[in-house]
Amino acid sequence: MKKLGRNDHCWCGSGRKYKACHMAFDEKIEHYALQRHIVPGHDLIKTPEQIEGIRQSSKLNIAILDEIADKIHIGMSTEEIDRIVVDMTKQMGGISATLGYEGYPKSVCTSINEVVCHGIPDPERLLQDGDIVNVDVSTIYNGYFSDSSRMFMLGDVAPETKKLVQVARECIDIGLEQVKPWNFLGDMAQAINDHARANGYSIVREIGGHGVGLDFHEEPFVSFVTSRGTEMLMVPGMVFTIEPMVNMGKADIYIDDADGWTVYTEDGKPSAQWEVTVVVTEEGYEILTY
């Protein structure tokens, strides 16, 4: 890449001279790079216009999850949840990012009890009293991607399972406290992992968060089991998901051989997950989806 001169137009597209726009920003990133930290390239830093596009996509994403929250009930099939997503996405002018992604057959993921993630909606799978279910919605609107999930508890959920769902939610809030410019993704990961382990739980290692916005899955991969001071430097304009998968038992998982998608806990114990999309700002963060 050609090195910009002080009076060249800035790489961000603002039209301003580099020296008055991102030169000091780039110099700060270079300082961390020289210390052998992982730093983001310009391609991972969203412009204000791109962030606004992701924000608008996120509004659809949130509206779909709100509708599911209003209609989900015992006896409902997970296929019916998929139908809500299909209908609402179409009505609002969006596209499901999930449908057809690497062959995934549905417009939403519905993961119940010991299913960690990527559960496929099924007309035969009815929600039962005591179930917990993660509903994961991903939306494209005007070419911009958004992604989030929520946990729902059906009927008389066992107290120990309710606690799992609550702690998984707390992990998000505790992780958010570490999202600020010039911190590291590992700062967030350790805060989340420490809280889960303090409550007797484990965090899935193989699957994590990801960059999002201009594509469904972008760099960086966001682990929730790494250490403070490691992983990528967070800088203003980065957009990524926070979505730790919290297991009641061990962290080990396996993928269903039959469908190639559904991820289960190895020990058959429940798993819970909330997912938010955030953008790093000059002051800290903005939550785009919750």
Asked if the structure places residue 1 within a domain, the reply is no
* Residue 272 pLDDT class (50, 70, 90 cuts): very high
Asked if the structure places residue 216 within a domain, the reply is yes
The SS3 call for residue 120 is: coil
Indicate the pTM of the whole model: 0.95
pLDDT tens digit string along 66-79?
A: 999 999 999 999 99
Say how far apart CA 232 and CA 157 lie, in whole Å: 38
Q: Are 78 and 112 in contact (CB under 8 A)?
A: yes
pLDDT tens digit string along 31-56?
A: 999 999 999 999 999 999 999 999 99
* Residue 3 pLDDT class (50, 70, 90 cuts): confident
Asked if the structure places residue 93 within a domain, the reply is yes
* Residue 257 pLDDT class (50, 70, 90 cuts): very high
Q: What pLDDT is stored for residue 259 in this prediction?
A: 96
Q: What pLDDT is stored for residue 77 in this prediction?
A: 98
Asked if the structure places residue 215 within a domain, the reply is yes
Angle of CA points 211, 114, 121, to nearest 5°: 70
Dihedrals φ, ψ of 236, to 5°?
Answer: -55, 135
pLDDT tens digit string along 113-158?
A: 999 999 999 999 999 999 999 999 999 999 999 999 999 999 999 9
Q: Are 97 and 138 in contact (CB under 8 A)?
A: yes
What is the chain's mean pLDDT, rounded? 97
Residues 6+ apart with CB under 8 A from 101: 216
State the total domains in the chain. Answer: 1
Q: What is the mean pLDDT of residues 15-39?
A: 93
Asked if the structure places residue 2 within a domain, the reply is no
pLDDT at 2 over 70: no
Asked if the structure places residue 11 within a domain, the reply is no
Percent of the chain with pLDDT over 70: 99
Q: What pLDDT is stored for residue 91 in this prediction?
A: 97
Chain center to CA of 154: 23
Q: What pLDDT is stored for residue 13 in this prediction?
A: 87
Q: Are 277 and 289 in contact (CB under 8 A)?
A: yes
Asked if the structure places residue 13 within a domain, the reply is no
| 180-213 b/e (C-beta count within 10 Å ≥ 16 → b) | bbebbbbbbbbbbbebbeebebbbbeebbbbbbb
pLDDT at 193 over 70: yes
Q: What pLDDT is stored for residue 153 in this prediction?
A: 98
Asked if the structure places residue 168 within a domain, the reply is yes
CATH of the domain at 130: 3.90.230.10
- Domain extent at residue 209: 18-289
Q: Are 269 and 276 in contact (CB under 8 A)?
A: no
Residues 6+ apart with CB under 8 A from 183: 233, 234
Q: What pLDDT is stored for residue 203 in this prediction?
A: 98
